[in-house]
Amino acid sequence: MRMRVVMMQEVAVVVVVQRSSAQHSNNASTLQITLHRLSISNEKLHRINTWKKISVVFFTAAAAIAATVAAINANTNKPAAAAAAAASILLVALGKWIDALMRLRESGVKKQKQIIGVMTIGARITMKDLSNIYVLSRRLQFTIDSISETVAMINKSFQNLRRKADEYRRNLNWTRQVVLQSIGAPNMVIN
């Protein structure tokens, strides 16, 4: 019965070791994926910041040029000056709109980066926990193996002790019988 329990425990430890090893490789690939996504998010943030700077410079320059054209043509050509002033106002509004879009996209990418960061931390913690489980399960397997060997040795020692006790009892009975027979009482047998 004890051997069956020990064997069942060994099987359970082997299953734990196999599962933790498989989970460790799964989490390693998950960590690689999240780190890749984190680098992609960093690249996106860098591109958004670059485009924000470019759009600010472009629309500021365009609005400044339109305002300058409006000021130059104010005295000579009234319709051209009005169109340049209107274009200046439109360019400023368009620049603000694009900046608002870039900020929304930037906040979305930052939130995504934050979520990926938490996932990365979770994957690292999980991998560390799985490594600890693997080490402890291997240690437990070694302990169970040594206990199995110890139980087998105890069983063998117990069998030897039992065999020696039986041999001792048989020898003692034989000696009693021989002594009693030599005394002259052949019918007395003491067990």
- Is 159 inside a domain boundary? no
pLDDT at 166: 93
**Dihedral-angle region of residue 184 (phi above 0 means left; psi in -120 to 50 means alpha; beta otherwise):** left
Instruction: Kindly give the confidence (pLDDT) of every residue in the chain, 191 residues in length, as a single tens digit, with 9 standing for 90 and above.
Output: 555 554 555 555 555 555 656 776 787 888 888 889 888 989 999 999 999 889 888 888 888 888 888 888 777 777 877 888 888 888 888 888 988 999 999 999 999 999 888 888 888 888 888 888 888 888 888 888 888 888 888 989 999 999 999 999 999 999 888 888 888 755 555 55
pLDDT at 66: 82
pLDDT at 50: 92
Q: How far is CA 38 from CA 24, 26, 30, 32, 43, in A?
A: 21, 18, 12, 10, 9
Per the structure, the complete domain to which residue 23 belongs is given by 2-145
- Is 83 inside a domain boundary? yes
pLDDT at 169: 93
Burial string for 21-45 (b: 16+ CB within 10 Å, else e) reads eebbeebeebbeebeebbeebeebb
- Is 40 inside a domain boundary? yes
Burial of 135 from C-beta contacts in 10 A (0-12 / 13-18 / 19+) = exposed
Pull the structure tokens for residue 124: 């690292």
pLDDT at 22: 72
pLDDT at 47: 92
Within 10 angstroms of residue 48's Cβ, the number of other Cβ atoms is 19
Pull the structure tokens for residue 78: 């009234």
pLDDT at 191: 55
pLDDT at 159: 93
Domain harbouring 76, CATH code: 1.10.287.950
pLDDT at 30: 82
- Is 152 inside a domain boundary? no
Name the domain count of the chain.
1
pLDDT at 93: 86
**Cβ distance 48 to 106 under 8 Å?**
yes
**Cβ distance 43 to 153 under 8 Å?**
no
- Is 115 inside a domain boundary? yes
- Is 154 inside a domain boundary? no
pLDDT at 173: 92
Query: CA–CA separation, 113 vs 40, rounded Å?
Result: 9
Pull the structure tokens for residue 185: 């009482």
Q: How far is CA 184 from CA 118, 171, 172, in A?
A: 96, 20, 18
**Dihedral-angle region of residue 189 (phi above 0 means left; psi in -120 to 50 means alpha; beta otherwise):** beta
- Is 181 inside a domain boundary? no
- Is 141 inside a domain boundary? yes
